[in-house]
Amino acid sequence: MPDKIEIRTITKKELSDFLVEKGEKKFRAKQIWEWIWKKTITNFEEMNNIPLKIRNFLNENYKFETIEEVSSQDSSDGTIKNAFRLHDGHVVEAVLIPSRSRTTVCVSSQVGCNLACRFCATGKLKMQRNLTAAEIFDQVAWANKLSMKIFDRKLTNIVYMGMGEPLLNYDNVLSSIERITSEESLAMSPYRITVSTSGITKNIKRLADDNVRFELAVSLHTASNTKRSELMPINETQDLGMLSDAITYFHQKTGKRITYEYLMLKGINDSIPDAIKLAKFCKIAPCKINLIEFNSIDSEYKKSDMEIMEKFANHLEGYNLIVNIRRSKGKDIDAACGQLANKTS
C-alpha cells in the first residue's frame, strides 16, 4: 500500500482525476474542494454531503497532516497565543491580535530559526524544519474561526512575523498565500498580508520577479553596517548595500512601498545620528517605518525610553517620512514579537 498523500498538496484537477478513475462524478471534486479550502475542515468524516464510499476512498489514499492545539493563553490586552503540535511532534506558535477594527494573526513559517538575531527568542532555537503550506494555512484558518467566534467578524490581517524566516521557506510561504487569497478558499486580500524578512536579498528579488501583491516588511533595525552585523549575523553575508539593491529592485518591479521594522534598543540604535542614517537609507524607495518597542527576552538589551522613541520619530518626520511607534501586545504571555519560543510546551 503506497503512503497516503497530504490531500492539501494536490491540485483540484488531480482530485477530480482520482475520483473519475474511481468511477465517481466530477462534481464531487468541487464539493470536496470546498470542504477543504472554504470550510477548512481537516478530516473526511465531516464531509457530510459526500457518500461514505467516496469518503472511504479518500481516507485510503489521502490524509490531513494538520496542526493540533496544545495550549492557549489569553493576555489582559485581548491577545491570544496558541501553541500547536505538528504531526511530527514539533511545536509552533501563532498569535491572534484583536484591535477595535481589525483582527490580525501572526503566523509562524518555520520551527525555530537559524539566523540567530541577538535580540530574538526564536533565534535561540535551532531551526528544525520548514512548515508546509498547509501548516501555515491551518494557523490562519484557526485564527479566522476564533475571530468569528469571539468577535463575530472574519480575520482581517495576516502577518508572517511569528517563528522563522519566511523567505527561507519561500515556496511554502508563497503557496500558503496563494491559498489564503484564492476565491475558492478564504478570499483574503493580498494587501492585508505582510511578510516580514530579516533581509534575504536574493529572495526579495525573487518576490519582485514573481510580482507579488502582498506587503513586504524588512527588519532593518539599524542603518549602520557595523551595528547591524552585531545584532543580526545575516548582515555579515548580506549587508546593507546588498539589501538596498534588493529593495530598490523590489520597488522598481512591483511599485510597492516597503515597511521597515526598527527595533528600538537603548543606547544601541536610538540616537539622533542613528535617525539621520536611517533617513538616508530610506531614500532608496517609498516606505513606512515602524519603530518597535523592544520586548525583553533576558538578553543584554534594554528597550529605549518612550521619550527617546518619540524624539527619534519626530526627527524622522522632519524628513517627511511616515513613522509609527508600535507598542507590542501580549507581553504578559510572551506573545509579543520576538518572544515566541515555545515556553509553554
Residues 300-339 close enough to bind ligand SAH by CB under 6 A: 337-338
Told to check if 15 binds ligand SF4 by CB under 6 A, we report no
Three-state DSSP class for residue 342: coil
- Name the residue nearer to ligand SF4 (CB basis): 252 or 345: 345
- Could you tell me the strand order of the sheet in which 103-106 lies? 68-74, 80-85, 91-98, 103-106, 157-160, 193-197, 215-219, 258-264, 287-293, 322-326
Q: Which does 297 bind (CB under 5 to 8 A by kind): ligand SAH, ligand SF4, none?
A: ligand SAH
If you ran DSSP here, which 8-state letter would residue 224 be given?
A: -
Residue linked to cell 488531480? 14
Distance, in Å, from the CA atom of 78 to the CA atom of 100, rounded to the nearest integer, reads 11
117 binding ligand SF4? (CB under 6 A): yes
Residue 123 binding ligand SF4, by CB under 6 A = yes
- Provide CB contacts within 8 A for 277, sequence distance 6+: 222, 223, 224
Q: Which is nearer to ligand SAH, 29 or 212 (CB)?
A: 212
- Residue 334 touching ligand SF4 (CB under 6 A): no
* Catalytic pick among 65, 93, 215, 261: 93
Is 120 one of the binding residues for ligand SF4 (CB under 6 A)? Answer: yes
- Of the candidates 65, 2, 58, 64, the one whose C-alpha atom is nearest the C-alpha of residue 31 is 58
Q: Which does 110 bind (CB under 5 to 8 A by kind): ligand SAH, ligand SF4, none?
A: none
Residues binding ligand SF4: number (CB under 6 A): 11
Q: Which of 106, 117, 287, 337 is catalytic?
A: 337
Q: How many residues does the chain have?
A: 345
Interface ranges with ligand SF4 (CB under 6 A): 113, 115-117, 120, 122-123, 164-165, 198, 219
Could you give the residue numbers annotated as active site? 93, 337
